[in-house]
Structures are given as structure tokens and as C-alpha cells.
A and B are shown apart, each in its own frame.
Chain A
């Protein structure tokens, strides 16, 4: 169980805070992994707009940047331009464990076609870009979604 509260974090990923500068709310992202029988997984949580264009990164689990190429959906969406993830990076997440982070998200991101993606990769196992893709909606909050391979449930709650 890991709890991170990030107030300043999103200053780095400006795109997410620009639309409604003053209006933001704390959102808790909870990712529980399956017991997939491997070493700790790297995760990237990021946001794209309706057309798939990259808007910003919310969290990266896994500190060694040389392995970040395995988070290929995130790398592709961001065009590899992920400088400035300092401060929103934590440890990798073990099989069967839960990652819980709280970030401040602009109100304008909700119900506006934006999508939240989770990429997962683990050593000697297959990479899973966009393991989870969920639209950011007020109604979708608190509803668990399963991933393709690694993720048991993913929930965002306000």
C-alpha cells in the first residue's frame, strides 16, 4: 500500500492544469496488480485527449529510466519527451500489491473526452502498453476496471 499526495506534482505536467487553472480536485488512483508471478512491475499513468494526443503524466512507478522504454504506449504518446517526471516517480510495484496515489486534477479534464492510460511492464515478461484505458468522467469515478494482463482492478476516485 502506498500513498502519495501530490499537490505540486502537476505543475510539471502543465497541460493538465491549464484548462481551469483555479478549479482542481484531488483524485486518488488505485491500481491493484494480479499475482502474475514475476518481479516488480513498472507502471506509467498518463492522460490523452479524445484524439489520442498526449496531455501529461500523472505517475511513474519504477525509478530506472533505462527500463522506461518498455512502457511503450507512454513513450509513444509522449514522443519520448517525458522530461520533468521528477517528483512524480516512485518505486516499482510488486505482484499482487496495490499502488495508490493522489493527484490534483483540473475539473475541466472530466467529461471532456480525456482518457487515462496505464502502461505496465515487468522483467522477462511481456510489455503491456495501454493495459487500462478509461475515459475520465464524473460517473466513472469509483468504478473498478480490469486490465488486459497485469491489472486486477484500476479505480479513480474523488
Chain B
């Protein structure tokens, strides 16, 4: 519902909204520019009477003096083409420059508030501001839900690059946008008189007390008591009208001053309502608070970027929701697939499963989990494929599934299997899938397969689940899910270093040249692949549809792509790679993995890796040109055989890209695993983490679990856990 509102609103007001925020951000810089031209008044203060006397002495025709919110003092007089004005130096009364209201600013202001369409345009602008407010609030609420609650709103965002951009920029701009839009609404409603602006009526016009010659300006007592800093405007008596008087408006009130006696004739303090209105006006325009203007302008500039990233996310989601081909009605289906999807990618997997089962002659019905039917008379099995939203919540298409389940009585005769989709970077990985599995088991449903989980849409893990499913069904089923594959590049091997043969862990570091790209391709930004260490190089073996992913140990700016590959017995892709000789080529593309890389800043970084897990860590060190503190923990089997990157690491220690190195090897006497090395270093690790260090772990699943357990113990005295660090984005894992 929230997402629907956010989407429909954003798509329907995009044009007026863009006009509004772009003109608004241009206007927001004006107070800062205006302030640059202001002349500071004398430090010891100057009274309005003195200012008026000085100004009249140099410019006898002055009709009005205003102190602008920027602090500029402007004197108005009759000009040849309408009222003219000069900026006055309050210390001397001399003109500093002409004061000509900028045509550009006036044009922009009128466009911003009414699109040059009169009251109709003003209403449209007000409506667009309301829409932006609703978009901001709904966006913040969705972000909070995704992060796992309001308390975690400011945590590090997760997900794909586009989602993170949208969430990060949105959170950054939210406060400014809320201020801008709320104040805009107040201004709009006061324009239409729907809420009072609190404009106090000026005091009643007084009768002149006495006639006679006007006093010299400097002797008008009522003006001598008012400091320039309090002045808003002073209007001089009309020389043609001997009964006229001064009109004075200050920060606190307004009234009339007798030019003959110099006395105050009438006075009215500003109402609280007017002061509130002026504050709101100031907050919206930045007039008098130039830095607020600049901040609001920057927030407004985020809106076009949010519009583009939001549209891209919507489009991605929409494409993922394409209808399933040949979906069979629920009543006749022998196989039911229920889908719990937030972003739509789970639907992609459901489609692959649907197609594979259909090809095997099954009658398959796929539907959102929320639309589960009370019974499936022909069903023989049910699959539940579900993602998890935020911190363990149900995804959009399964939001009422658990309640609906209560409405279904006795457990059905057919068995079920749950497949969870998630991202291990989230603390509650696949939590909703586990909840669903537990809920069904508790209701006595019969299980076909134990719960399985798929990390970051891995096609390999999905294919593996397909194998278990084949066995359970007793039929041949191949689940080859190819998430949309980008264009591949041909990479040429230029160098390889082999390690680990002696300890039965043949591993090689492969270095590929990047393809040369034509100027045209570069201009179209589809030349060389762009990547950083920690991103993934997807290798597509000839004749295969599923790519295999390897963490990159280099950045595009290094001029080569480097990966560490351990040869697995019977491993198709690792055998292919181990068979490469310099000059050979492979087809590959880059997949961004922005959730695994050191956070920007100067805080220390602890890198923990075993075996080929050192690959991306070596890349981080290689890229550490700023020489921030980096501490590497590496575990292998034998320093004489599989000490990967040994030579390079020595060089990095020498040039201080790497601060310290701790190694541990399992097949030497007195050896151990990387966890043992961590335990030995407990005190030091606690100090580093206490100083804000970030921990990055890369390696096999068991090793990562062992490291997590060890750190769990180690950090107890510091009152921290990997879980807490994970919430702050300070504990990252890349696990395979």
C-alpha cells in the first residue's frame, strides 16, 4: 500500500515536481549571494534616526529606507523609470551601489510559486509540495521498515547499488524536504486565506497632534531609540502632504512617528501569529538565514536523482513481475508454487521452477503467497519461494500469509518445501522463510524437503536445490536460472602464479588483461568493465548458461582483472581456469558487490581471510593508497606452499599499504586455523574494534562461521558482538 502510494504519486506529479525543485534550488542560493553584498554596520550600533539623517543628507529625495533580511540597507527614491533604490553604507549614508531587483530572481520566483499560471498555478505548486511531503514521509517509512525499525533508520543501507543510492540520498535529503514542503504548504494555504497569516492590523491612523516645521531627522526621539538591527522599514512623510507622518516597522511591531514633535503617535506590537508566519517564511526562503537556504536547496537537488533512481527501481520490479507463461488454474494444478517477493527477483526464480516442472509434464499453478487458496484439490506438492523484507519481516506479496494460514483448517494431504531467498549481509538472513517453514511444521504440514536458503540470488545454490528436488520427486529436473546476463567481455590471461599443489590445495592467481576499447565504446560507457576489489568476476564457461563468480583482487584502475581460483575435483569452471595458459581467453562480465568493501574514512580495517578468501582482501590492500591502517589475518596450510600473495604482501608491508600481517598455517607443527590466531590476538582486536575498526571476512562458510563464533567470545568484554557490528555495517562477510 505504502509502496503503491509512493509509486503512483511519484509517477503522476513528476513534471510539476521537477519544475518546483529545480527552480527552488536555484532560488535557495540567492540569500547566500545577497549576503555576500551586504555591508556590515558599525560595531557599536547605529540608531534609525542617525541612519535616516545620514541618508537624507546625501540623498534628499529619499522616500523609504528598508533593512533587507540579508542586512543590506536600501534607500528608495523616485527614479525616472519607476521607484529606484540604492544600497547605503549605514556608517556614512553614502550610496554603495544601485539596488535593482534581479529580473532573473523575480522570474524564477514567479515560476516557482505559480508556473506563471496565476491562482491555478499556485494551487498546482501547493499540490506538488504536498505530494513531495507525502513522498518523503512514505519513503522514510519504507526505509525504516526495510532497515528493521525506526531505531535502525540511520544504519548503513544494504541491497543493490541503485537501492542504496535511493535510500541513502533519500535519508540525507528527508529533513530538508520535510522543512521545505511543510513551510511551502503553510505559505500556500495562507495565500488562499485558508489559514490566517497572523498579519496584525497596523494601528489606527492617528490625527496630527500639531502642525509646524519638521524637526531635523537626527532629533526625532522615537527613531533615536531604535537600533538599525531592529529596523524593517521606515517610510518618510509625503512632502506634498503636511499632515503625513513617518511609518516605522521594526522586528517587534509597527507604528507612526510625528515629524514635528518627534514623538511616537501610535504603536502596535506584532502578534505571535505574525512572528510565526515570518519564521516559516524565513525557513522556506532562506531570506535572513542563508545557510538554511543552501541546505534546503541541496536537499531539493536530490529530488531529480531520487526520481531517476526510483523510476529505475520501479522499472526493474515491473519487468520482474511479467506474468508467468502457461500458468494452470489452481483447481487442476498438481503442483502449487507460492511466491513471497518484495522486489520481484523471487518471481524470476519461481518462473524458472515453473518452466522446468511444466516441461516435465506437471500442471503448475504459481501465485503470490497472500493469495493462497483454502484448498488445492488436485495438488500433490507445494513449493513456497519467499524473500525476507528488512529485519525479518514478510515481503510485500506475503504480508498477510501467516494470518491467511490460520484460516486454513486441517493440514493438506500433499507435502511442502520452503526455499528462502536473502542476503547474508542482513542480520536476519532468510528469517521470514524460516518463520513460514516453522509455522507450517507446527500446523502439522508434511515436509517434502528441508528448508533451503539462497544467498544473493545465487543460480548455483538454486541449481543445487534443484538436484535435491529431483531426488525427492524421483524425476530429472534441471533448474538453470539465468538472471539477466549482461554483455560479456573477452579477457586474455596475461599471468598466472600457482600455489598449494604440494598440500593438495591447487590454487592459482590469474591475471587477465582488460579488453582494449574503442573511443566510441568508451563514449557509450560500455568499453572496459568498471570494478573495484571485492566486486565479482562472472566467468561463463563455453556452452554453459550459468556463470561462476569469483571475487576480484584488483581494481579497474590497476589495468587488469585478478582472481584467486582453487581447483575443485570435478569442478567444471575451476578446471577450465586452471587449464588456461597466457594468451588464452575467457568470456566474463563484472557484477558489482558494493556490500563488501571497506567503508570510506580513516578508521582501521581488519581483514580476515583463509585460502582463496585472501583475493578481495589483497585487492583492498593494493588499493590502499591513502595508507590507512589495515591489519591482515591469513590462514593457509603450509607457508612453503599455499602462502598466497606472499611476495606482494611483503612489498605492501614495506610501503605501508599494509600495517600488520598475522599468518597461521594448519599443516605445520604447532599450527592452527585463523580463529586460533585471532584468539591469540584478543587484546589487540578488542582495542582496534573499540577504536571503530571495520572487520571484513572472506572465505569458506565454515571458516566464516568459526571466525564469527571466535569474535563473539573475544568481544564480550568490549560489550560488542559481530551481530551488533553487522548492524552498523562494521562486520562484512563474503562467504562461498
Q: Which of B83, B85, B204, B247 contacts A72 (CB 8 A)?
A: B247
Which of A7-15, A104-112, A126-134 lies at the interface with chain B?
A: A126-134
**C-alpha spacing A3/B238, complex, angstroms:** 31
When each residue 221-242 of chain B gets 1 if its CB lies under 8 Å from chain A and 0 otherwise, what string results? Answer: 0000000000000010010110
**Do residues A126 and B63 form an inter-chain contact, with CB atoms below 8 A?**
yes
Which of B98-106, B468-476, B529-537 lies at the interface with chain A?
A: B98-106
- Tell me which residues across on chain B come within 8 A of A126, comparing CB atoms: 63-64, 66, 76, 83, 85, 235
| Closest CB in chain A relative to B554 CB, distance in Å | 59
Chain A: which residue is nearest B235 at the CB level? A127
Of residues 54 through 94 on chain A, the ones whose CB sits less than 8 Å from some CB of chain B are: 66, 69, 72-73, 75-76, 79-80
**Do residues B100 and A37 form an inter-chain contact, with CB atoms below 8 A?**
yes
Knowing A37-B103, A39-B106, A76-B205, the reply to whether A130 touches B240 (Cβ < 8 A) is yes
Knowing A124-B101, A129-B238, A130-B238, the reply to whether A38 touches B197 (Cβ < 8 A) is no
**Do residues B79 and A149 form an inter-chain contact, with CB atoms below 8 A?**
yes
| Closest CB in chain B relative to A69 CB, distance in Å | 6
**Do residues A66 and B106 form an inter-chain contact, with CB atoms below 8 A?**
no
**Do residues B199 and A66 form an inter-chain contact, with CB atoms below 8 A?**
yes
**Do residues B78 and A149 form an inter-chain contact, with CB atoms below 8 A?**
yes
- Tell me which residues across on chain B come within 8 A of A130, comparing CB atoms: 238, 240-241
Knowing A38-B101, A38-B106, the reply to whether A125 touches B83 (Cβ < 8 A) is yes
Q: Is A52 an interface residue (CB 8 A)?
A: yes
- Tell me which residues across on chain A come within 8 A of B235, comparing CB atoms: 72, 126-127
| Closest CB in chain A relative to B224 CB, distance in Å | 24
Most buried by B among A69, A76, A126, A127: A126
Report the interface size class on chain B.
20 to 34
Report the interface size class on chain A.
20 to 34
Chain A: which residue is nearest B65 at the CB level? A126
**Do residues A66 and B247 form an inter-chain contact, with CB atoms below 8 A?**
no
- Tell me which residues across on chain B come within 8 A of A95, comparing CB atoms: 82
**C-alpha spacing A150/B101, complex, angstroms:** 15
- Tell me which residues across on chain A come within 8 A of B406, comparing CB atoms: none
- Tell me which residues across on chain B come within 8 A of A149, comparing CB atoms: 63, 78-79, 82-83
**Do residues B101 and A125 form an inter-chain contact, with CB atoms below 8 A?**
yes
**C-alpha spacing A76/B79, complex, angstroms:** 25
| Closest CB in chain B relative to A9 CB, distance in Å | 24
Q: Is B624 an interface residue (CB 8 A)?
A: no
- Tell me which residues across on chain A come within 8 A of B205, comparing CB atoms: 75-76, 79-80
Q: Which of A36, A39, A133, A148 contacts B81 (CB 8 A)?
A: A36
| Closest CB in chain B relative to A31 CB, distance in Å | 14
**C-alpha spacing A133/B238, complex, angstroms:** 12
- Tell me which residues across on chain A come within 8 A of B83, comparing CB atoms: 36, 125-126, 128, 149-150
Q: Is A100 an interface residue (CB 8 A)?
A: no
**C-alpha spacing A105/B733, complex, angstroms:** 89
Knowing A66-B193, A76-B205, A79-B204, the reply to whether A38 touches B240 (Cβ < 8 A) is no
Knowing A126-B63, A130-B238, the reply to whether A35 touches B81 (Cβ < 8 A) is yes
**Do residues A38 and B82 form an inter-chain contact, with CB atoms below 8 A?**
yes
- Tell me which residues across on chain A come within 8 A of B79, comparing CB atoms: 149
Q: Is A34 an interface residue (CB 8 A)?
A: yes
Chain A: which residue is nearest B100 at the CB level? A37
Q: Is B275 an interface residue (CB 8 A)?
A: no
Of residues 88 through 123 on chain B, the ones whose CB sits less than 8 Å from some CB of chain A are: 100-101, 103, 106, 110
- Tell me which residues across on chain B come within 8 A of A127, comparing CB atoms: 64, 235
Chain A: which residue is nearest B105 at the CB level? A124
Q: Is B243 an interface residue (CB 8 A)?
A: yes
Q: Is B540 an interface residue (CB 8 A)?
A: no
Chain B: which residue is nearest A51 at the CB level? B243
**Do residues A37 and B101 form an inter-chain contact, with CB atoms below 8 A?**
yes
Chain A: which residue is nearest B110 at the CB level? A39
- Tell me which residues across on chain A come within 8 A of B63, comparing CB atoms: 126, 128, 148-149
**Do residues A35 and B82 form an inter-chain contact, with CB atoms below 8 A?**
yes
**Do residues B243 and A37 form an inter-chain contact, with CB atoms below 8 A?**
no
**C-alpha spacing A66/B85, complex, angstroms:** 25
**Do residues B240 and A133 form an inter-chain contact, with CB atoms below 8 A?**
yes
When each residue 10-25 of chain A gets 1 if its CB lies under 8 Å from chain B and 0 otherwise, what string results? Answer: 0000000000000000
Q: Is B56 an interface residue (CB 8 A)?
A: no
Q: Is B546 an interface residue (CB 8 A)?
A: no
| Closest CB in chain B relative to A96 CB, distance in Å | 10
**C-alpha spacing A130/B240, complex, angstroms:** 9
| Closest CB in chain A relative to B713 CB, distance in Å | 69
Q: Is B580 an interface residue (CB 8 A)?
A: no
- Tell me which residues across on chain A come within 8 A of B106, comparing CB atoms: 37-39
Knowing A66-B193, A66-B197, the reply to whether A37 touches B82 (Cβ < 8 A) is yes
Q: Is B586 an interface residue (CB 8 A)?
A: no
**Do residues A52 and B243 form an inter-chain contact, with CB atoms below 8 A?**
yes
Chain B: which residue is nearest A36 at the CB level? B82
| Closest CB in chain B relative to A109 CB, distance in Å | 21
**Do residues A69 and B78 form an inter-chain contact, with CB atoms below 8 A?**
no
| Closest CB in chain B relative to A131 CB, distance in Å | 10
Q: Is B623 an interface residue (CB 8 A)?
A: no
**Do residues A34 and B81 form an inter-chain contact, with CB atoms below 8 A?**
yes
Q: Is B202 an interface residue (CB 8 A)?
A: yes
Q: Which of B82, B199, B202, B240 contacts A150 (CB 8 A)?
A: B82
- Tell me which residues across on chain B come within 8 A of A37, comparing CB atoms: 81-82, 100-101, 103, 106
When each residue 180-201 of chain B gets 1 if its CB lies under 8 Å from chain A and 0 otherwise, what string results? Answer: 0000000000000100010101
Chain A: which residue is nearest B199 at the CB level? A66
**C-alpha spacing A103/B368, complex, angstroms:** 73
- Tell me which residues across on chain A come within 8 A of B201, comparing CB atoms: 69, 80
| Closest CB in chain B relative to A19 CB, distance in Å | 24
Chain A: which residue is nearest B243 at the CB level? A52
**C-alpha spacing A17/B251, complex, angstroms:** 44
**C-alpha spacing A73/B241, complex, angstroms:** 11
**C-alpha spacing A60/B243, complex, angstroms:** 24
**C-alpha spacing A127/B403, complex, angstroms:** 68
Given contacts A69-B199, A129-B238, A133-B240, 16 further A-B contacts (CB under 8 A): A33-B82, A35-B81, A35-B82, A37-B81, A37-B101, A38-B82, A38-B101, A52-B243, A66-B199, A69-B202, A80-B205, A124-B101, A126-B63, A126-B85, A149-B78, A149-B83
Could you list 15 examples of A-B contacts with CB < 8 Å? A34-B81, A37-B106, A72-B247, A73-B238, A75-B202, A76-B205, A125-B82, A125-B101, A126-B83, A128-B63, A130-B241, A148-B63, A148-B78, A149-B63, A150-B83
Closest 4 CB pairs of A and B: A36-B82, A149-B83, A126-B76, A34-B82
B-side interface residues toward A, CB under 8 Å? 63-64, 66, 76, 78-79, 81-83, 85, 100-101, 103, 106, 110, 193, 197, 199, 201-202, 204-205, 235, 238, 240-241, 243, 247
